[in-house]
Amino acid sequence: MSSELQVFRLPDLGEGLTEAELVNWLVAVGDQIKVDQPIAEVETAKSMVEVPSPYAGTVAELHGQAGETLDVGKPLISIAPVGAAPAEPEAPASAEDPVSTGVVTDAEASAAAETYRTEEKAGSGNVLIGYGTPGGATGGRTRPRKGSVAVVDAAPAAAPEGSVAVPEAPMEPVVAGTRIPGKLSAVISPLVRKMARDHGVSLDAINGSGASGLIMRRDVEAAISAPEASAAPSAPAQAPAEAAAPAAASGDLDSRTGLAVSARTPVRGVRKAVAANMTKSRTEIPEATVWVDVDATALLDMRAELKKRSPHDTPGLLAFIARFVTAGLKKYPALNTRFETGTDGSQEIVGFEGINLGFAAQTDRGLVVPSVRNAHQLSARELDAEIRRLTAVAREGKATPTELGSGTFTLNNYGVFGVDGSAAIINYPEVAMLGVGRIIDKPWVVNGELAVRKVTELTLAFDHRVCDGETAAGFLRYVADCIENPGGALADM
């Protein structure tokens, strides 16, 4: 019965992520599950999400254990179809008989997973857990059938007359990636599209049994059940000892320092994503930094007065500064762009009709940057409410990849950590970041006389490829002037 198993691979959970940590299984072997039923909780570098099953049936195998990091495109769960008996464990097959066992080699599984990840990044239009992959819905994945290398010669002879034809393995990448205009509209369910792609079935070869030729789930299942399209079960999951290598035993000596190693902490999840993003930013972006000290006394006084009138819904200081930033980006749009380099070496600066304002938020999982979408349309009070909401969901690990990966400019309030300034690293692929330091009492000259004022430091890191110092300084000075004269600035916005 193993040939009947439906193997669901870990999908791209958004933003082209390549791996996820398996936090908890929501089902067990032998459980009966339904389509769209959550089967596992996984934590990506962006958020914690529940993964639903595209298949109904009996759970036959769980590929992985809690705490294990799984690659996108690798098997997550195997399910016996409704009405089929759960697959019995089979003895390992010999290398001479790959067709009879249907076992996929490690090389084939890795190749299939890599193809899967590449195509997910290109964008399939598939909606799995509430948000789509990047790109349009016109392209089809070209992933080869599992075990296709081993059964290329045998598959044509095994196909009975009248069965639904599936292209032979060598032709699959070409056929599966080709769409007849308007054909895709005959498939409405994203789960049906995903099922077809997972099993290497070309939708172009299927005549839908639904109204107006609509391709139904049963049509794809019929194509999958054809002998030539039978998919081999994925390679068994690694043993726990292989899947999650333990940290180095205490007492190991470091060859460089001669000291005992106290611990080795795997870099994964948010920390791994931050490390990769910061490295890419430093490697690709020729950044420059400008800064200025700002008298924020008037802003604090204005907020204190508002708080007296309305104690419960007065915006925080960050919301007011965010409002000034969005106004400044309208005046200096070069800082609200993205610098792109094409595969042919061509370069262009991409501008946006709108501002998604990201802000740095410290969580138990590390530093994340949720973004307020269309922040330029919001008042200070509305910005405050959205900042509080996004901070809460980010700290709970429930922010979506869209909320965490769609910013066009970042505001970083590192003053909450008690520091004055920072040589910030730009949040790639954005081109600028504004940092706000702590607000402290400092001597300040006011109308020719020395006074104690509330002073903060603003620091702007910017990509020198998109603008020169004049633009960066103009934006920074605009925000500083708004902070020093908040009443007049808000009146003009």
The residues annotated with a catalytic role in the active site are 464
CB atoms within 10 A of CB 258: 7
Instruction: Give yes or no for a contact between 468 and 447, defined as CB atoms under 8 angstroms apart.
Output: no
> Would you state the structure tokens that stand for residue 278, as one six-digit string?
């910061």
User: What is residue 450's three-state secondary structure?
Assistant: strand
User: What is residue 69's three-state secondary structure?
Assistant: strand
Chain-centre distance for alpha carbon 447: 52
CB atoms within 10 A of CB 124: 25
For β-strands 57-62 and 32-33, DSSP reports them as antiparallel
Cα 209 from Cα 465, distance rounded (Å): 55
Cα 255 from Cα 392, distance rounded (Å): 44
> Would you state the structure tokens that stand for residue 32, as one six-digit string?
């009966």
Cα 239 from Cα 236, distance rounded (Å): 9
Instruction: Give yes or no for a contact between 21 and 108, defined as CB atoms under 8 angstroms apart.
Output: no
Residues 6+ apart with CB under 8 A from 384: 315, 316, 318, 319
Output the CA–CA distances (angstroms, integers) from residue 213 to 93, 138, 166, 193, in the order listed: 42, 18, 19, 15
Residue 345: which region, alpha, beta or left (left: phi > 0; alpha: psi -120 to 50)?
left
**236 burial type by CB count under 10 A (0-12 exposed, 13-18 middle, 19+ buried):** middle
For β-strands 337-341 and 347-351, DSSP reports them as antiparallel
> Would you state the structure tokens that stand for residue 39, as one six-digit string?
């089967």
